[in-house]
Amino acid sequence: MMGADNIMQRGQKLYDEGKYFYAQEILDKLVWAEPENQKAKDLLADIWEQIGYQQENPGLRNSFLAGAFELRSGIPEGASPDSSGPDLISAMSTELFLDFIGIRMDSKKAENLEFSFNLITPDNGEKFAVELSNATFTNVKGFLNEKPDLTITINRSDLEKIMMGQKSFAKSIEDGTAKVDGNVDIIAALAKTLVTFEIGFEVLPGTAGKAIAVDLNPYEVPAETSNIRGE
């Protein structure tokens, strides 16, 4: 197309004609070729806004509008809300905590793992049958596995300390706060599969700043973090 100027002129013409999908095809390639070309990024942002406004699907709408914002302003910065405070953790059900572990599990790291365990919290009378198989972590409330590889018994109040990062499973087992029966190594194996979500992830590649590495208790419900290491 004989250079960036021609692409910009053609992209602007397509934008003015309302041919937004055609316009994004050529402007997107220009932005990839010249990531410092802010005029191209601004025009592509205008195009994506128009595409986003016309979406009935809220996920697509938000993706286009977030991409437009990112093209103009980069990744939003600033502190994120603390998601590991005592009020939030105490309100989180044990079932939700186990679901969250499943969400944070990197399935590729769990491909060769297969085990089951029971989690019992005597102080509130709950019990859970938990299983990892086919790189999928699941739990069923109110049931126990008949032949588990491990049974963990810990009060819900003590489990909350692990969820908040105040204490690790290993230390809870060491001091007797958590009682275990079976292969305790599966706790560490599960911890190695967990990843922490990058809060400031980029909708478009190449615009995010460097992530800050933070060590966490692997079972902690994290706040603003980008790296995780099991104990």
In total, how many domains does the chain have?
2
Boundary (domain end) residue, out of 73, 99, 129: 73
pLDDT of residue 231: 40
The pLDDT tens digits of the residues spanning 127-151 come to 999 999 999 999 999 999 999 999 9
* Helix ranges, the chain (H): 4-16, 20-33, 38-53, 58-73, 86-91, 94-104, 156-163, 169-174, 185-191
Confidence band for 49, pLDDT divided at 50, 70 and 90:
very high
pLDDT bin (cut points 50, 70, 90) of residue 230 is very low
- 103 and 187 assigned to the same domain: yes
In a domain? residue 116: yes
Q: Is the pLDDT of residue 65 over 50?
A: yes
Nearest residue to 116 via CA among 134, 103, 132, 96:
132
Return the CATH number at 65: 1.25.40.880
For 86-109, the pLDDT digits (tens) are 777 778 899 999 998 998 899 999
Structure-model confidence comparison of residues 221 and 116, the more confident one: 116
pLDDT tier, 8 (very low <50, low <70, confident <90, very high otherwise): very high
Do 170 and 105 reside in the same domain of the chain? yes
Is residue 111 very low, low, confident or very high in pLDDT (cuts 50, 70, 90)?
very high
- 40 and 126 in a single domain? The answer is no
Q: Are residues 105 and 177 in the same domain?
A: yes
In a domain, 170, yes or no: yes
Per-residue model confidence (pLDDT) at position 201: 73
Of 30, 49, 73, the domain-final residue: 73
Same domain, 18 and 48: yes
Mean pLDDT, rounded, of the chain: 85
177 in any annotated domain: yes
Task: Tell me what pLDDT residue 90 has.
Answer: 78
CATH number at residue 92: 3.30.1050.10
Q: Read off the tokens for 136.
A: 């999928």
Location of structure tokens 């009378």:
125
Question: Same domain for 57 and 107?
Answer: no
Would you say residue 44 lies in a domain?
A: yes
Give yes or no: residues 50 and 139 share one domain.
no
Tokens representing residue 127 in the block? 């019990």
State pTM to two decimals.
Answer: 0.62
Q: Is there a single domain that holds both residue 113 and residue 180?
A: yes
Task: Give the angle subtended at the CA of 77 by the CAs of 75 and 82, to the nearest 5°.
Answer: 125
Q: Taking residues 153-166, report their average pLDDT.
A: 91
Check pLDDT > 60 for residue 53. Answer: yes
- In three-state secondary structure terms, 39 is helix
Same domain, 115 and 58: no
Closest by alpha carbon to 121, among 159, 84, 89? 159
Q: Work out the average pLDDT over 150-175.
A: 92
Q: Which pLDDT does position 83 carry in this prediction?
A: 58
Give the model confidence (pLDDT) of 185-223 as tens digits.
999 999 999 987 766 777 765 555 444 444 556 777 665
**Which domain range does residue 49 map to?**
4-73
Both 68 and 96 in one domain: the answer is no
